Structure 1
């Protein structure tokens, strides 16, 4: 199996060097490039096959939010894992809305960062239930709200899919959803895959935002 290709985007050379050493020590990961600002990162990722970008938020020329938006908008098969110093950074939530697949603190333990890279490369989102709730607290006030009544974007979903989506929006894990809805965890994963395909969103973060935008789950 080919190693996961990781691109490092950070304006501090020392930080990039540390990440390169950490990632380079793993057999299943490899660093394929580095960028010191968002514009350089977008340019390089366009021509360098990349699975995951470790994206710093605050960079010169172009910040990590705009770089994430451009990478996602171009439909590249590249996922973005945002790195930040503060877990409640407003720019983090902007990056998630732009299509990032999750975020990690820069002071996370090495094994947590490595596992997050693998998780994102596998198509999942690195958003723990507690972080999902913080995401809702900070992002929901800025989201457009569907007018009272039924949002017809929900019409493509079965009743069971709506139940699963509601649980995801509440921050439940797959295991918790399986317990609450009396189904196997594998079945939960199948439903999530169908939700992603039907709603044309990239990951769990997108499902959470969709559930609230459409009014399937109401803000408290």
Structure 2
């Protein structure tokens, strides 16, 4: 039983490391769920800075693009989004590319930051979906 747990943990860890390496190799940023949790905490504590120029409205996005953006905001990885929406990983990447282009956003952290004030994701949703760790940071 211990070996099953250990191998499952290693598989998950290996996937995360592989995903992060691929992201960096493609000049993208890879954020772990823990970092996204910290960002959410900071946003809740200090609020978001108001952009000097109005952000493009969500109406520019398709329903599926809004779903993908919401899942990114919840901290899901590309593989997890693909599995959750029953679509391919390359399709998720295509949606993310189109979302960034339409909203003029550069990376995953900007997507996450955009998802919260639009109401696509709420702190309550993320808190109920992701267990919070109370250990030292």
- Provide the aligned C-alpha RMSD in A: 2.5
- 1:125 is the counterpart of 2:11: no
CA contact (8 A) 2:56 2:103 kept: no
8 A contact 2:65–2:99 mirrored in 1? yes
Work out whether residues 82 and 89 of structure 2, in 8 Å CA contact, stay in contact via their aligned partners in 1.
Answer: yes
TM (norm. structure 2) is 0.65
**2:90 matched to 1:161?**
no
1:139 CA drift (Å): 2.5
> 2:115 corresponds to which residue?
211
Contact preservation (8 Å) 1:177, 1:188: yes
Residue correspondence of structure 1 range 1-220 to structure 2 within 5 A: 119-120=23-24, 122-144=26-48, 153-220=57-124
8 A contact 1:196–1:207 mirrored in 2: yes
In terms of fraction of residues, the more helix-rich structure is 2
Could you list the per-position Cα deviations for residues 19-74 of structure 1 after superposition, in whole angstroms to 9, with x for gaps in the alignment?
xxxxxxxxxxxxxxxxxxxxxxxxxxxxxxxxxxxxxxxxxxxxxxxxxxxxxxxx
Query: Which structure shows the bigger proportion of residues in strand conformation?
Result: 1
TM-fit CA distance, 1:152: 7.0
The list of structure 1 runs, each at least 4 consecutive aligned residues, that deviate by more than 3 angstroms after superposition, is: 118-121
SS in structure 1 at match of 2:123: coil
3-state SS of 1:177 partner? helix
* Larger RCO (CA within 8 A; separation ≥ 6): 2
| TM-score, with length taken from structure 1 | 0.42
**1:140–1:212 contact (8 Å) kept in structure 2:** no
Unaligned runs of 5+ in 2: 1-16, 125-137
Q: Residue 115 of structure 2 aligns to a residue in which SS?
A: helix
CA distance in 1, matches of 2:102, 2:45: 26
Gaps in structure 1 of 5+ consecutive residues: 1-111
Distance 1:214 1:132 in 2: 17
Question: How many angstroms apart in 1 are the aligned matches of 2:25 and 2:89?
Answer: 21
**Superposed displacement of residue 162, structure 1:** 0.5
1:200 & 1:217 partners in 2: Cα distance? 19
Q: How many residues align?
A: 102
